[in-house]
A = this chain, B = another copy of it.
Amino acid sequence: MTETLSVELGDRSYPIRIGTGLLNDPAQFAPYIAGRQVCIVTNETIAPLYLKALESTLIGYQVDACVLPDGEEHKTLQTYANVLDHLMVHRHNRSTTLVALGGGVVGDVAGFAAATYQRGVAFIQVPTTLLACVDSSVGGKTAVNHPQGKNMIGAFYQPRLVLADLRTLDSLPAREYLAGIAEVVKYGIIRDASFFDWLEAHVDDLLRRDASALKHAVRTSCAVKAAVVAVDEREDGVRAILNYGHTFGHAIETLTRYEYLHGEAVAIGMVMATDLSMRAGMLDRAAGKRIKSLVAAFGLPVVPPGNITPDAMRSAMGMDKKAIDGRLRLVLARAIGDALVTERFDPGAFRDTLSAHGGLCEE
């Protein structure tokens, strides 16, 4: 059965539909396509699996496909420019609709192209990774990376529809699937203690991708995200809690040049943010231990690679978007299910967290 959630943003509200086989149902798409032209943006890994099916579903439109190389290292201005070239060459006009078929990179690049092609065209997200289903496809953040920082170039631009066909997750490699689980765990930590409890009780079900457990995890994650985005679309405040672990994680991604999947880097980042929350006296040790244990139980990494120094982390974190006027803002946890954004934490505790998690420590 297909479930529908809604992201409530006034005249930019849109549905998130979660089910199986949605990719093959023309009726799912028709109300959200603006004109007669569609450009499917996907990548070379996903295209052989689902592109034909989606093209068949979209019969009756002028459908072009723009197939990107796979990988976070291609989430660049150049790849974005290639999508725009594709739209120009195929003469897409202002009433075209871009459909992102893929994971977070495809969604972020296609979304930024949709936000800026002819100053904005219709956009539909069809996430095919767990991470994209529960996180990147929802909420309107689009971006590409700059060589000096992740997601530094982009726009807030909401899709008209998020269509999560859980059947596409069957083909997901284990490593990517687990990277998505990291963001699922995040929702428990920041906003939903009972979901965290449920996750602890369903590690095995999720590891074997039990359909019912997976659907519950996706629905609950999207519900948390939709609720947060609805009250703070442009991240002027509370939305920043969705970045739990991300400031540490982005630094790790930048410093390792995207050796880690985003979710893996976030997993390490969440453990570090949890460590800092404890050292700063906000979070009790038992809760901190439960968080680290749950991340580890899913087989996700919990420490950064040994060649990253505390100094390198500090510098990479300073350029993160979450830094306001030079001061570092971080998301910390007061309890499981209760995160907050703060600039007020003991610099000594921060230093200790970096040292405890950094290789080649000078301190």
CA distance A235 to B121 in the complex (A): 12
Q: Tell me whether A30 is interfacial, beta carbon within 8 Å.
A: no
A35 contact from B115, B319, B321, B324, Cβ within 8 A:
B324
Q: Which A residues between 308 and 332 are near B, CB-CB below 8 angstroms?
A: 318-319, 321-326
Interface residues of A, dominant DSSP: mixed
Q: Which stretch (A153-161, A195-203, A218-226) binds chain B?
A: A153-161
Asked, given contacts A35-B324, A324-B94, A326-B93, whether A155 binds B119 with beta carbons under 8 Å apart, the answer is yes
Question: A274 — which chain B residues lie within 8 A by C-beta?
Answer: none
CA distance A85 to B152 in the complex (A): 10
CA distance A153 to B120 in the complex (A): 9
Across the interface, do A93 and B152 meet the contact criterion of CB distance under 8 Å?
no
Across the interface, do B36 and A152 meet the contact criterion of CB distance under 8 Å?
no
A224 CB to closest chain B CB (Å) equals 21
CA distance A91 to B16 in the complex (A): 37
Across the interface, do A93 and B155 meet the contact criterion of CB distance under 8 Å?
no
A325 CB to closest chain B CB (Å) equals 5
Question: A35 — which chain B residues lie within 8 A by C-beta?
Answer: 324-325
Across the interface, do A84 and B155 meet the contact criterion of CB distance under 8 Å?
no
Q: Tell me whether A234 is interfacial, beta carbon within 8 Å.
A: yes
Across the interface, do B119 and A156 meet the contact criterion of CB distance under 8 Å?
yes
Binary CB contact string for chain A from 138 to 177 against chain B (1 if under 8 A, 0 otherwise):
0001010010110111111000000000000000000000
Asked, given contacts A84-B152, A118-B152, A152-B117, whether A323 binds B77 with beta carbons under 8 Å apart, the answer is no
Q: Tell me whether A88 is interfacial, beta carbon within 8 Å.
A: yes
Across the interface, do B156 and A319 meet the contact criterion of CB distance under 8 Å?
no
List 9 interface pairs A-B (beta carbons < 8 Å), by A numbering.
Answer: A36-B325, A88-B146, A93-B319, A93-B321, A93-B323, A94-B322, A94-B324, A117-B153, A118-B153
Given A88-B149, A116-B116, 19 extra CB contacts under 8 A: A35-B324, A35-B325, A36-B326, A84-B146, A85-B146, A93-B319, A94-B321, A94-B322, A95-B325, A112-B116, A116-B154, A117-B152, A118-B152, A119-B151, A119-B234, A119-B321, A120-B155, A120-B234, A155-B155
